């Protein structure tokens, strides 16, 4: 609606069902707009009220449309319809600057002069409007509305989902899209009469089925959508043309049709020449549309090699006017078409691959694995936390205390008998979030007691043994001196160029790491973690090319026969222009075919073999195995994993997963397996909207009908084979317009394959199935999944199942159906909460960390470590293990003293905190304190300073002091200083037992200026210097540390 108002030359394409919906009146949409410009005077209180009236939601951090945050002089807003959010910086009450910013990194991007904002919702939400809504509800529905969630939410000032169906209750008169269109608008339409009538009939059916639902009553259809007569009346009141009528006039220009099937790629190894021959036979002009300028150049080069000259044209007009019979251009086009004069084919149709636009490079977080486990971002009051020296207590929030006349902020931890520990915010590196075993309450230690010391000592001893055992396993791999593959040459570059996508930054990094691993003499063992559809398979195929180019064989292990078949097709397409021999072995192959494949494998005539765990049988021999690719390792059983362990010692291993199981994640985090995370989604990919609902016949029916109305397909997952037929029959009766098929693992192979192919070809639009669809189906038209009894699935499984939808640019939906809340276990509730909160693309890694906490970190090698993890928490256990592994690697024997994290104490008697008037939100302050305390280099610290100033405004002195102290700690740590005290009369520095500072540096200080520097008790230096201000103290300390360095 905003674009209609702003752009007089707009082309709007929409289905008739969308145009039939009632809308808010233009007077509300355009009359409620808000403009903010530079140099404008703003009253923050009035602005906040104005935004609330427009149904914008106040949050701590702005990441989505319709949100705003006010932090002192910084205002962040994400207007509806805007591609990016805005950051408004005030000087007093005047708008000093307006910038866009990246919601992911929260960093500013481009300066702007103004922001134009429309309401965040289709309705007003003041107290007056809410009262009007309530009155209209009583008039239309009567009865007792307290049982209705919609009425209850609106009464409490909460806009519920589906509120747009009650627009009539907010306005005396609603509008339609035609009220927003200029009078001179031209309307072109297909013959849509039957679709409009069908939509009207479906609305009537829905009304009749829901009209007596007291929990969610529904308005008559005429109050929600236009009836067919009014709809066509509105269309014909403008300049209206029917495409069918235009075609009847035999207009050559507008006589467009589908591109003939023979033009599209049919798995040809070289599609160019067959296309040219077809074009010559048709005697029409041909336009090839590449996705980008770079891809256009590559296709043009391919054409020239084939002896075909194509003229490069800039736009459609240039093509029409050109005399060239074959032309090529770059444009964003989904599919081609044909006419009497010319044919247009897209690169995607030509090569049989989906081409994506260059995607925005997103900033990835370094040390992501460590951040996920150790951060305090999700810490809530009374959550269990671990202090390195004092053990497990309960987090009680942040508190500011007056210490010697200055404000100091502390994190408060409660221990047994309500004893309190106050941890300075500058020492948050000593604190981590506790995560232990499922179903067991975290311990609560006594402050000053010996239980924690004993638990830590016992765990340290066990950790040392575990570390030694782990290192023994992996040292055998290191000592095996694996095969060093050849450095990629021209053939590899050509293989890369044939990849029809643009690699994401994460993908490029993963590929680079894999190539480096394969060219080293040590066997590779790398875990690639990335959400479904993020490009893990291409990483594996690049590795496979390197392996077979070096004369080695490749095995790809997948958990299901369907996935084996799909991977075989994918590999064959990708390696079509190479000499690679590729086969798959599964139950879909006959006995004789399997025998021949195994024979070829043993003789070395097969380069790549793809299969399930049947490839792990004892009687299978490889000629020269060089690379093992494992897809979704968590789907393999114990025996198969033991067989994999025996293979690991000699070959390169590449494991791919969307959600790594906790044990795999443990290994990766502990540094024993290399981890690459692919978290950048493809362009235009939307996150899957996930809803957790108690099962309802109306909800299921509505979800399926909505998907079918937009031409999509639905997965309905019911994991009980004995009742799956009954479920399908119920759906057929309730939704007669749906074409329903059934798929489960007990069906005959050929029958199952046929069902899947029919669904893929859209012969059915609802697939009632079991978890057999968990891996291996790539159906871009399926964008709704309904999962019955979602509480019975693990996080990894739900995430995988949810990943069956949302594989295109359409919005996808996942409905997790559960029994009543009071019958759910606490573990199931946590799982469902985690999956519904992790809607973001690339959430697989985060979910695996949730799984660690919910199912318990468990053990890494056996069952013996559960008690230790429970007593000290996963974070501490992981940290001790990491330290022990590094110690043993460097030839040291770990001791308990080595495991003690030594905090550097800095006492300068200056205020060092993030004041409440600078950042009022306590939780956000906690997160930033932890980030500041966790910085390990001066560069990281400065980067964080820039980010905070950008997000929250210029630093007050207290924050400046906090960062100065952090930088001093980093320098002091490198010199082996454990305590630094500054008073007006001088400095005192205390060193560790074995400091890293050079003794000659200290001696030189004493000799050059004995009146200023002196020793105290052997490991302390006293500095006689007068310091009256904070700046004096920082300058004196900086000078001393630079002399010691």
Q: pLDDT by residue (tens digit) across 486-545?
A: 888 888 988 988 887 778 788 888 999 999 999 988 888 888 887 777 788 899 999 999
SS3 713: strand
CATH label, 689-840, candidates 3.40.50.1820, 3.30.750.200, 3.40.50.300, 3.40.190.10? 3.40.50.300
| pLDDT tens readout for residues 290-337 | 877 767 777 887 788 778 888 999 888 888 888 888 999 988 787 888
Taking only the tens place, the pLDDT of each residue in 944-974 is: 888 888 888 888 888 998 998 888 888 888 8
Q: Residue 370: what pLDDT?
A: 36
Per-residue model confidence as pLDDT tens digits over 456-466: 777 777 777 76
- Positions of CATH 3.90.1150.50 in the chain: 905-1044
| 1030-1044 helix and 957-975 helix, angle to the nearest 10 degrees | 20
Residues of the chain with CATH 3.30.2060.10: 34-117
Secondary structure of 82-101 in HEC code, one letter for each residue: CCCCEEEEEECCEEEEEEEE
* Residue showing tokens 């800039």: 314
Q: Give the model's pLDDT for residue 86.
A: 94
Class of 368-476+864-899 per CATH?
mainly beta
Under the banding of pLDDT at 50, 70 and 90, the label for residue 730 is very high
pLDDT band at 1043 (very low <50, low <70, confident <90, very high): confident
pLDDT tens by residue, 95-141: 999 999 888 778 888 889 999 888 888 888 888 888 999 899 888 88
Give the DSSP letter of residue 21.
Answer: B
CATH 2.40.10.170 range(s) for the chain read 368-476+864-899
Per-residue tokens: 917: 């008037």
pLDDT digits over 854-872, tens only? Answer: 444 444 434 444 455 666 7
State pLDDT tens for residues 22-50. Answer: 999 988 887 777 889 999 999 988 898 88
Alpha helix ranges (H) inside 604-696? 638-648, 662-669
| Mean pLDDT calculated for residue range 402-416 | 86
Question: How far, in Å, CA of 847 to CA of 608, rounded?
Answer: 32
Mean residue pLDDT across the chain: 79
The CATH fold of domain 34-117: Penicillin-binding protein 1b fold (3.30.2060)
Residue 361 has pLDDT above 50, yes or no: no
> What kind of fold does domain 483-678 have according to CATH?
Rossmann fold (3.40.50)
Mean pLDDT, range 580-609, rounded to an integer: 86
Close Cβ partners of 650 (under 8 Å, ≥ 6 residues apart): 480, 482, 523, 625
Residue of 769 and 651 predicted with greater confidence = 769
Token couple for 787 = 């999962």
pLDDT value, residue 1027:
85
The ranges of the chain annotated as CATH 3.40.50.300 are 483-678, 689-840
pTM above 0.75, yes or no: no
| Confidence (pLDDT) at 610 | 92
Largest CA distance in the chain: 105
Q: Is 711 helix (H, G, I), strand (E, B) or coil?
A: coil
SS3 assignment, position 431: strand
Range 905-1044 classified under CATH 3.90.1150.50: yes
**Fold entry, domain 261-351:** Rossmann fold (3.40.50)
In 449-501, the DSSP E strands lie at none
Does residue 628 contact residue 654 with C-beta atoms inside 8 Å?
Answer: yes
SS (H, E, C) 537-576: HHHHHHHHHHHHHCCCEEEEECCCHHHHHHHHHHHHHHCC
């Amino acid at each position: 609606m905003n674009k209609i108002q702003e752009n007089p030359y707009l082309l709007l394409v929409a289905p008739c069902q969308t145009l039939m919906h009632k809308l808010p009146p233009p007077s509300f949409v355009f009359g409620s707009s808000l403009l903010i410009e530079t140099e404008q005077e703003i009253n923050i209180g009035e602005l906040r009220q104005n935004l609330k009236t427009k149904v914008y939601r106040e949050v701590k951090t702005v990441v989505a449309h319709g949100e705003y945050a006010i932090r002192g002089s910084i205002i962040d807003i994400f207007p509806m319809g805007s591609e990016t959010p805005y950051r408004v910086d005030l000087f007093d009450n005047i708008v000093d600057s307006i910038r866009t910013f990246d919601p992911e990194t929260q960093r500013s991007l481009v300066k702007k002069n103004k922001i134009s904002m429309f309401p965040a919702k289709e309705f007003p939400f003041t107290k007056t409007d809410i009262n009007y809504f309530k009155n209209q509800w009583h008039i239309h529905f009567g009865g007792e509305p307290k049982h209705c969630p919609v009425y209850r939410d609106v009464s409490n000032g909460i806009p519920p989902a589906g509120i747009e169906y009650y627009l009539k209750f907010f306005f005396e008169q609603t509008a339609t899209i035609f009220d927003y269109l200029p009078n001179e608008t031209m309307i072109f339409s297909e013959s849509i009469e039957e679709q409009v009538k069908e939509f009207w009939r479906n609305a009537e059916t829905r009304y009749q089925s829901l009209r007596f639902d007291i929990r969610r009553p529904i308005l008559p259809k005429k109050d929600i959508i236009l009836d067919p007569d009014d709809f066509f009346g509105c269309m014909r009141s403008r300049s209206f043309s029917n495409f069918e009528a235009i075609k009847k006039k035999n207009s050559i220009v507008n006589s467009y049709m589908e591109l003939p099937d023979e033009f599209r790629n049919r798995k040809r190894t070289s599609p160019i020449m067959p296309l040219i021959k077809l074009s010559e036979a048709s005697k029409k002009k041909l336009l090839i549309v590449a996705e980008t300028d770079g891809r256009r150049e590559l296709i043009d080069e391919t054409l020239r090699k084939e002896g075909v000259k194509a003229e490069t044209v800039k736009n459609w007009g240039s093509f029409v006017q050109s005399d060239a019979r074959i032309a090529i251009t770059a444009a964003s086009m989904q599919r081609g078409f044909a006419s009497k004069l010319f044919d247009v084919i897209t690169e995607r149709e030509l090569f049989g691959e989906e081409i994506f636009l260059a995607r925005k490079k997103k900033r990835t977080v370094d040390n992501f694995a460590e951040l996920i486990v150790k951060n305090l971002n999700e810490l809530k009051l009374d959550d269990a936390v671990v202090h390195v020296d004092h053990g497990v207590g309960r987090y009680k929030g942040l508190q500011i205390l007056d210490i010697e006349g200055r404000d100091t902020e502390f994190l408060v931890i409660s221990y047994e008998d309500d004893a309190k520990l106050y941890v300075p915010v500058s020492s948050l590196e000593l604190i981590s979030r506790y995560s232990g075993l499922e179903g067991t309450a975290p311990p609560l230690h006594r402050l000053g007691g010996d239980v924690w010391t004993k638990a830590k000592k016992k765990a340290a001893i066990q950790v040392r043994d575990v570390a030694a055992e782990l290192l023994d396993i992996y040292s055998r791999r290191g000592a095996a001196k694996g095969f060093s593959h050849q450095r990629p040459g021209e053939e590899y570059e050509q293989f890369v160029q044939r990849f029809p996508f643009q690699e994401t930054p994460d993908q490029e990094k993963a590929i680079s790491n894999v190539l480096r691993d394969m060219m080293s003499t040590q066997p590779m063992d790398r875990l690639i973690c990335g959400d479904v559809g993020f490009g893990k398979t291409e990483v594996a195929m690049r590795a496979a090319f390197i392996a077979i180019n070096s004369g080695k064989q490749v095995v790809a292990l997948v958990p299901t026969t369907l996935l084996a078949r799909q991977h075989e097709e994918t590999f064959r397409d990708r390696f079509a222009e190479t000499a690679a021999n590729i086969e798959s072995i599964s139950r879909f192959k006959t006995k004789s075919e399997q025998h021949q494949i195994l024979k070829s494998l043993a003789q070395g005539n097969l380069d790549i073999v793809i299969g399930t765990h049947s490839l792990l049988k004892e009687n299978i021999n490889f000629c020269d195995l060089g690379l093992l690719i494992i897809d979704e390792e968590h789907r393999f059983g114990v025996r198969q994993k033991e067989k994999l362990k025996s293979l690991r010692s000699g070959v390169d291993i590449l494991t791919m997963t969307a959600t790594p199981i906790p044990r795999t994640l443990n290994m990766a985090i502990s540094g024993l397996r290399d981890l690459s995370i692919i978290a950048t989604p493809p362009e235009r990919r939307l996150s899957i909207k996930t809803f957790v609902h108690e099962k309802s016949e109306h909800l299921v029916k509505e979800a399926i009908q909505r998907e079918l109305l937009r031409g999509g397909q639905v997965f309905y997952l019911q994991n009980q084979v004995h009742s799956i037929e009954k479920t399908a029959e119920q759906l057929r009766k309730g939704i007669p317009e749906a074409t329903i098929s059934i798929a489960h693992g007990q069906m005959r192979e050929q029958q199952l394959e046929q069902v899947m192919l029919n669904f893929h070809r859209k012969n059915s639009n609802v697939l009632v199935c079991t978890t057999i669809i968990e891996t291996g189906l790539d159906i871009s038209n399926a964008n709704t999944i309904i999962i019955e009894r979602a509480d019975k699935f693990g996080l990894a499984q739900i995430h995988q199942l949810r990943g069956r939808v949302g594989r295109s640019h359409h919005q996808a939906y996942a409905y997790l159906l559960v029994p009543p809340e009071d019958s759910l276990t606490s573990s199931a509730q946590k799982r469902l909460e985690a999956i519904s909160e992790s809607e973001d693309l690339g959430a697989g890694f985060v979910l695996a960390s949730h799984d660690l906490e919910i199912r318990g970190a468990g053990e890494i090698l056996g069952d013996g470590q559960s008690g230790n993890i429970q007593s000290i928490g996963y974070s501490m256990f992981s940290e001790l293990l990491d330290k022990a592994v590094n110690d043993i690697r460097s030839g040291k024997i770990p001791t308990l003293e080595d495991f003690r994290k030594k905090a550097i104490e800095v006492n300068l008697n200056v205020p060092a905190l993030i004041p409440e008037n600078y950042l009022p939100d306590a939780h956000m302050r906690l997160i930033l304190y932890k980030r500041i305390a966790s910085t390990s280099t001066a560069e990281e610290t400065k980067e964080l300073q820039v980010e905070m100033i950008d997000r929250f405004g210029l630093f007050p002195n207290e924050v400046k002091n906090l960062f100065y102290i952090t930088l001093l700690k980093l320098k002091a740590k490198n010199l082996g200083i454990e305590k630094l005290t500054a008073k007006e009369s001088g400095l005192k520095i205390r060193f560790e037992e074995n400091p890293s500072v050079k003794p000659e540096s200290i001696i030189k200080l004493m000799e050059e200026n004995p009146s200023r520097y002196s020793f105290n008790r052997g490991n302390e230096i006293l500095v006689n210097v007068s310091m009256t201000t904070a700046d004096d103290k920082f300058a004196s300390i900086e000078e001393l540390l630079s002399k010691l360095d």
